């Protein structure tokens, strides 16, 4: 069984895996390769340590350690390339999976819209809209008729009413000019029947004042 068969679980009755299953398998493979990378990096560090430890003391052991390091580095480089390929394939599958989900949603919406329109006739819809417009016009006419006031007495001549009003005004003006109506005598108050009593002040003459003073002086002298 090949490596890819192990990764994707081999054939299953010739049925291709779904995009979701393939993406999951690729993620699992990425995790496995990343762990292998970590393992190889540790091995490389160990071989470097062995080479440094032996150095010139045990040149053969140091060279063998460096050879193993080179093999580990080559494997690590191959794993890096494999991870890049797997990552691109996983991203492509994720994009395809997203597109599939979007298309399925759009198809479901299209089917629902088609089912909704199955019982609709375009001609009947146009007829219905015409009926609605006609009823709206009728309603508008009824509203306009109701909003207009009832026209009682429209047969009365307004010019005749204005002439009658002018005659009434002229008649009132003539009465004021001729003095017709309340007379001035009626508006005046009635005269009093008796004059009010007025206190009369008695005035003395200068001669009388001197006589009074002279009499007063005589009374003091006596």
Cα–Cα distances (Å) from 138 to 60, 122, 124, 130, 148, in that order, read 110, 25, 21, 12, 16
Looking at domain 21-113, which CATH architecture does it have? Answer: Orthogonal Bundle (1.10)
d(CA 202, CA 186): 42
- Using one digit for the tens of pLDDT, what is the confidence trace for 23-75? 899 999 999 999 999 999 999 999 999 999 888 788 899 999 999 999 999 99
Question: C-alpha 133: how far from its chain's center?
Answer: 32
d(CA 140, CA 134): 10
**Domain spans of the chain, in order of start:** 21-113
d(CA 67, CA 61): 10
Contact (CB, 8 A) for 47 and 66 = yes
Query: pLDDT tens, position by position, for the chain (222 residues)?
Result: 444 455 555 555 568 888 888 889 999 999 999 999 999 999 999 999 999 988 878 889 999 999 999 999 999 999 999 999 999 999 998 898 888 889 989 999 988 888 888 877 778 888 888 889 999 998 988 888 887 765 555 566 777 878 888 888 888 888 888 875 554 445 555 555 555 544 445 555 555 666 676 666 666 655
Q: Count H helices and E strands in the chain, helices first.
A: 7, 0
């Amino acid at each position: 069984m090949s490596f890819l068969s192990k990764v994707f679980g081999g054939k299953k009755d010739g049925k291709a895996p779904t995009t979701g299953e393939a993406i999951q398998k690729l993620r699992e493979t990425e995790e496995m390769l990343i762990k292998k990378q970590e393992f190889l990096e540790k091995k490389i560090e160990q071989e470097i340590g062995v080479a440094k430890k032996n150095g010139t003391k045990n040149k053969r052991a140091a060279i063998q350690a460096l050879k193993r390091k080179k093999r580990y580095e080559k494997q690590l480089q191959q794993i890096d390339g494999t991870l890049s390929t797997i990552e691109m394939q996983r991203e492509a599958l994720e994009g395809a999976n997203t597109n599939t989900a979007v298309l399925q949603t759009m198809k479901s919406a299209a089917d629902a819209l088609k089912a909704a329109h199955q019982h609709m006739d375009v001609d009947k819809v146009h007829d219905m809209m015409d009926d609605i417009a006609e009823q709206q016009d009728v309603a508008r006419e009824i509203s306009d008729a109701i909003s207009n006031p009832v026209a009682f007495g429209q047969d009365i001549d307004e010019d005749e009413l204005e002439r009658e009003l002018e005659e009434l005004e002229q008649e009132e003006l003539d009465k004021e000019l001729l003095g017709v109506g309340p007379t001035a005598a009626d508006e005046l108050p009635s005269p009093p029947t008796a004059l009010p009593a007025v206190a009369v002040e008695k005035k003395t003459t200068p001669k009388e004042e001197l006589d009074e003073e002279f009499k007063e002086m005589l009374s003091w002298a006596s």
